Amino acid sequence: MPVYLDEVPADAEKIVRPLTLRWVICLFILLIAGTTLTLWQWTDERSGFVFWFTALGLPFCLWGILFNFRRVGYRIEQKGGAGFTYECDLIESDEISRGRRFAWILDAFVQTQAGRGVGTLLVAIEQGMPVMDTVKPRVGNIAVRHSRLTEFDTNPAALEEALTKAAIRVKNVLEQLPETLECWVMFECDAGLSEQEEAALLQLVMLKSERSLRRLSVNGPACVDYWLDRYWEKPSVLIVLTVSLRSTPEENDAEAITSIVLCNRKSHRFPDAVRLHRPQKSRNETLTHNMMHALRWAEIKPEGIKRIWMTGEGVTSLSGLNQACEDNKTTLSLTDDIKNIDEVLGFPGNASFWIAVALAGEVVQESGVQFIAAHSDPRSDDIWLDTITAEERQKEVIRE
């Protein structure tokens, strides 16, 4: 589940110590009251132990009993407050530790109208030349400006061929890892297929990858969150496959296929792997606060961000991201260092977050810390934030 650090209760308020002056005054009041009542009601000789004990001793004993009860209550409150604060600190420490879990990106591949591979799309974005065209969609007669994978227009088996190539690429990665490694897959397809057709495609991927793949029940960027929590204790791999092929696209949509292989341990077979930190779910109005959390998971200060990749209308059309950068006092240029993927490629739907991950992972070694802000689902207000970092050495290494 996501890390909700803000929901950890605040420390208990400091317990106020009983005021000594107040209890001294209380003692005098009881002594005066006790003496007065004794003198008023006493009918025998006003001398001796019994008289003075009744006049002074009983009020003092009553005061002592009340004072000790109050002190015991004060100590109990202190212990309870200290215990509550300790539990809160422990929960906060555990949540921060869980939030700082990350995955290593072993391989990333994208197929778009710009071409096959991350490099071709990166060149197109750096040049700033849109690859979208105004053409008729596969279904319908009204021309729409979007980017389309033209090889899927006439070849009915194109999707199977594309996923077969992706599966073979995944297989080449998995062959370099121990066979005992658990393999999970997140498959998300937006191509208007039935559940049976999607299941057949996933079965094809499993067959071509020659590994036993178990499908996660969570889709989108949340799958990383889920996988890091459920399967962190044991080394495992997460394979992300997304297909965005809309037969009736909307204005400025994009078609794309992505394949990303993540591992929750460092492998000596992939010395140049970079880190995908835990994604942070946010909304436009809470971007400032959640950007701070996303950077906290990566242990990066705001001035350490070198580039931001954004995609999705909830990010590109609103000012929340720019405001978050200003509020967190980032030092990057809001015009040159923030890359809008949609301006060049169009909006790739469920593949948007993963395309941003692939692009950021491609340049992080040379350019420094990369940040991602993606609004993948137009039906939801959720914006996913993430940090990509590079690190040369890690202690945990998978050995065959």
The domain that contains 386 carries what CATH number? Answer: 3.40.47.10
84 alpha-carbon distance from chain centroid: 26
Same domain as 112, residue 80: no
**305 near 330, Cβ under 8 Å?**
yes
Q: Is the pLDDT of residue 280 over 60?
A: yes
The boundaries of the domain holding residue 241 are: 102-398
pLDDT (0 to 100) of residue 22: 81
197: left (phi > 0), else alpha (psi -120 to 50), else beta? alpha
376 alpha-carbon distance from chain centroid: 15
Q: How far apart are CA 44 and CA 26, in angstroms?
A: 28
Q: Which residue has the tokens 């992972």?
A: 361
Same domain as 51, residue 163: no
Q: pTM value?
A: 0.81
Most confident segment among 66-75, 312-321, 357-366: 357-366
Same domain as 92, residue 111: no
Same domain as 259, residue 122: yes
Exposure on the CB side of residue 349, measured as CA atoms within 13 A = 24
Q: Is the pLDDT of residue 79 over 90?
A: no
Q: Is the pLDDT of residue 384 over 70?
A: yes
User: Averaged over 131-147, what is the pLDDT?
Assistant: 85
Tokens of residue 232, six digits: 């962190």
Q: Is the pLDDT of residue 227 over 50?
A: yes
User: Averaged over 96-106, what is the pLDDT?
Assistant: 91
pLDDT-based confidence at residue 13 (cuts at 50, 70, 90): low
Same domain as 116, residue 92: no
User: Averaged over 362-378, what is the pLDDT?
Assistant: 93
**Lowest mean pLDDT: which of 70-84, 297-311, 386-400?**
386-400
Q: Which of 67, 99, 131 corresponds to the end of one domain?
A: 99
Tokens of residue 203, six digits: 């079965």
Same domain as 115, residue 83: no
Q: At what angle do helices 118-127 and 352-367 cross, to 10 degrees?
A: 80
Q: Is the pLDDT of residue 383 over 60?
A: yes
Same domain as 384, residue 349: yes
Beta strands in 23-138 (DSSP E): 102-112, 115-116, 133-135
Q: Which of 66, 99, 132 corresponds to the end of one domain?
A: 99
Same domain as 210, residue 90: no
Query: In sequence order, which residues have a C-beta less than 8 Å from that of residue 384 and are 6 or more positions away?
Result: 220, 221, 279, 280, 281, 282, 353, 372, 373, 374, 375, 376
Q: Is the pLDDT of residue 3 over 70?
A: no
User: Averaged over 255-272, what is the pLDDT?
Assistant: 93
- The sign of the torsion formed by the CA atoms of 135, 138, 140, 144 equals negative
Query: In sequence order, which residues have a C-beta less than 8 Å from that of residue 127 and are 6 or more positions away?
Result: none
Same domain as 129, residue 79: no
Tokens of residue 255, six digits: 């078609």
DSSP symbols for 297-330: HHT--GGG--EEEEESHHHHSSSHHHHHHHHTT-
CA dihedral angle for residue 57, residue 60, residue 65, residue 70, rounded to 10 degrees:
180
How many structural domains is the chain composed of? Answer: 2
Q: Over the stretch 228-247, which tens digit does the pLDDT of each residue have? A: 999 999 999 999 999 998 87
Q: Which of 71, 99, 127 corresponds to the end of one domain?
A: 99
154 alpha-carbon distance from chain centroid: 41
**374 near 356, Cβ under 8 Å?**
yes
**Lowest mean pLDDT: which of 32-36, 165-169, 323-327?**
32-36
Tokens of residue 108, six digits: 């990333």
Same domain as 292, residue 183: yes
pLDDT (0 to 100) of residue 82: 67
Average pLDDT, the chain: 86
pLDDT-based confidence at residue 97 (cuts at 50, 70, 90): confident
Q: Is the pLDDT of residue 399 over 60?
A: no
Q: How far apart are CA 225 and CA 333, in angstroms?
A: 30
What percentage of residues in the chain have a pLDDT greater than 70? Answer: 91
pLDDT (0 to 100) of residue 37: 77
Same domain as 115, residue 90: no
pLDDT-based confidence at residue 59 (cuts at 50, 70, 90): confident
Q: Which residue has the tokens 């040049």?
A: 127
Q: Is the pLDDT of residue 344 over 70?
A: yes
Going by the DSSP 8-state scheme, the letter that residue 350 receives in this structure is: G
Tokens of residue 195, six digits: 């559940």
Between the CA of residue 247 and those of 167, 253, 400, what are the distances in Å? Answer: 24, 11, 45
Nearest to 374 by CA among 339, 344, 400: 339
Same domain as 284, residue 351: yes
